[in-house]
């Protein structure tokens, strides 16, 4: 089946977080929304067919997945990432952020140190602080083109703050890095040396770009696997976030039991039946759809890079290695973080994610979701270019 990703689908009036609640979030209703990480593309047809069939059945009682569900999850990760978790390792969760918060509750005590690498997806900070733990930051290092890990600082942060848990973003959101096996091994060895559990958020794994290969952290060593929680979901890959189904891989039985106990303490007993249906269908039949959407996203990325080079050379795309979220360096404009975001929102009329949401290290950056029809991007970047030129000429 050939998919038409140029087709613009009206999402207003669907209770979409991305489109329908601007005023509730203090935004103007006339902004082009390029912020939260969901796509403006329909899910694969096989997923829609599976959901339709399940809805026709008409009964949506409590549901536990059977063997074909687990087989679909294992097969996808084995085919795409060379990693096949045992069925018994898979713990269901309504989402990856829920899984992160559950891991913090399961494996740390109030006041314990939990390490993150900003600028990073802001719920990493929130689940630590809201959980009453001590946030420990080892910022990534940016050389103007690419982000890297300061391993000496990483280890010092662990030693100086009695860190118990490390939240790894792999691939990294928002900077787009696909961590190499060598980088992951070095992180893993440091964590093992200091008895730190690794919780690896791998939700963007399927979007590794040509020339880059995602590595499941737990796949690198049985020793890493034994001290790791791998958080996955079909939600980003197939645009299924609203269906609330994710899969967490925990090899060690004691850690898995602690994680399940923490889930039980929240009152969560099962996940969305339609989420399970969609996830299974996506993992069984979604390969071709994903190939096509990734090709389209490559075209969107090339458009953005070319447009900025031609019309707004002051803005620089940090070359992404994965994700459909691009991290744009706007520091050459010489604006404060507040001035930058006011220009983007009030003058360019764009709703994007302000860089400081991801930590102070994000000052001067914006994150833009390019998973939309190209015509929307063209209008958005024309508005951005006009706003920048007006600002620079003032």
CB atoms near residue 252 (< 10 Å) = 16
pLDDT at 269: 84
Q: Which of 14-23, 95-104, 204-213, 368-377 is predicted least confidently?
A: 14-23
The C-alpha atoms of residue 381 and residue 385 are separated, in whole angstroms, by 6
Residues whose CB falls within 8 Å of the CB of residue 298, separated by 6 or more in sequence, listed in order: 209, 210
Residue 362 has pLDDT above 80, yes or no: yes
Q: How confident is the model at residue 221 (pLDDT cuts 50, 70, 90)?
A: very high
pLDDT at 179: 98
Mean pLDDT value across the chain: 97
Beta-strand pair 246-249/90-93: antiparallel
Quick: pLDDT tens for 131-171: 999 999 999 999 999 999 999 999 999 999 999 999 999 99
Q: Is the peptide bond before 63 cis (omega within 30 degrees of 0)?
A: no
Compute the average pLDDT of residues 172-199. 98
Q: What percent of the chain has pLDDT over 90?
A: 98
Q: Contact, 198 vs 255, CB < 8 A?
A: no
Q: What percent of the chain has pLDDT over 70?
A: 100
Q: How confident is the model at residue 298 (pLDDT cuts 50, 70, 90)?
A: very high
pLDDT at 73: 98
Q: How confident is the model at residue 393 (pLDDT cuts 50, 70, 90)?
A: confident
Q: What is the 3-state secondary structure (H, E, C) of 104-138?
A: HHHHCCCCCEEEECCCCCCHHHHHHHHCCCEEEEC
Compute the average pLDDT of residues 178-205. 98
pLDDT at 270: 87
Residue 394 has pLDDT above 80, yes or no: no
Quick: pLDDT tens for 225-239: 999 999 999 999 999
Compute the average pLDDT of residues 339-364. 97
The C-alpha atoms of residue 173 and residue 195 are separated, in whole angstroms, by 25
Compute the average pLDDT of residues 238-242. 98
Angle between helices 287-311 and 374-393 (to 10 degrees): 20
Quick: pLDDT tens for 87-108: 999 999 999 999 999 999 999 9
Compute the average pLDDT of residues 248-260. 98
pLDDT at 286: 98
Residue 348 has pLDDT above 80, yes or no: yes
- For residue 50, which of 32, 25, 68, 34 has the smallest C-alpha distance? 68
How many CA atoms lie within 13 Å of 92's alpha carbon, on the beta-carbon side? Answer: 20
- Phi, psi at residue 158, to the nearest 5°? -65, -45
């Amino acid at each position: 089946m050939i998919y038409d990703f140029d087709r613009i689908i009206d999402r207003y009036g669907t209770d979409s977080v991305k489109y329908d609640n601007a005023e509730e979030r203090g935004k103007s209703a006339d902004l082009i929304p390029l912020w939260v990480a969901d796509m403006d593309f329909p899910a694969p047809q096989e997923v829609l067919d599976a959901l339709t069939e399940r809805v026709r059945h008409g009964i949506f009682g409590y549901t536990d997945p059977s063997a074909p569900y687990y087989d679909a999850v294992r097969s996808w990760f084995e085919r795409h990432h060379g990693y096949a978790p045992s069925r018994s390792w898979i713990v269901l969760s309504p989402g990856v952020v829920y899984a992160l918060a559950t891991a913090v509750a399961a494996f740390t005590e109030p006041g314990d140190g939990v390490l993150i690498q900003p600028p990073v997806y802001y719920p990493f900070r929130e689940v630590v602080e809201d959980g009453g733990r001590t946030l420990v930051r080892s910022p990534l290092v940016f050389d103007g083109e690419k982000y890297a890990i300061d391993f000496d600082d990483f280890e010092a942060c662990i030693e100086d703050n009695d860190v118990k848990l490390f939240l790894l973003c792999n691939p990294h959101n928002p900077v787009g890095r696909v961590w190499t096996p060598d980088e992951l091994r070095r992180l893993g060895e440091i964590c093992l040396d200091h008895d730190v559990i690794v919780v690896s958020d791998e939700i963007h794994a399927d979007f590794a770009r040509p020339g880059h290969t995602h590595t499941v952290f737990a796949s690198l060593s049985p020793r890493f696997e034994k001290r790791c929680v791998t958080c996955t979901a079909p939600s980003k890959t197939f645009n299924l976030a609203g269906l609330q189904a994710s899969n967490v891989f925990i090899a060690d039985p004691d850690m898995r039991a602690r994680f399940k106990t923490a889930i039980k303490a929240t009152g969560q007993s099962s996940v969305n039946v339609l989420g399970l249906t969609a996830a299974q269908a996506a993992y069984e039949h979604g390969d071709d759809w994903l190939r096509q959407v990734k090709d389209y996203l490559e075209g969107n990325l090339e458009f953005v890079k070319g447009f900025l080079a031609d019309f707004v050379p002051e803005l620089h795309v940090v070359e992404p290695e994965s994700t459909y979220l691009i991290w744009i360096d706007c520091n050459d404009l010489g604006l404060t973080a507040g001035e930058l975001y006011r220009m983007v929102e009030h003058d360019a009329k764009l709703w994007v994610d302000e860089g400081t949401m991801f930590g102070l290290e994000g000052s001067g950056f914006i994150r833009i979701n390019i998973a939309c029809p190209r015509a929307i991007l063209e209008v958005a970047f024309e508005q951005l270019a006009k706003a920048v030129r007006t600002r620079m000429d003032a």
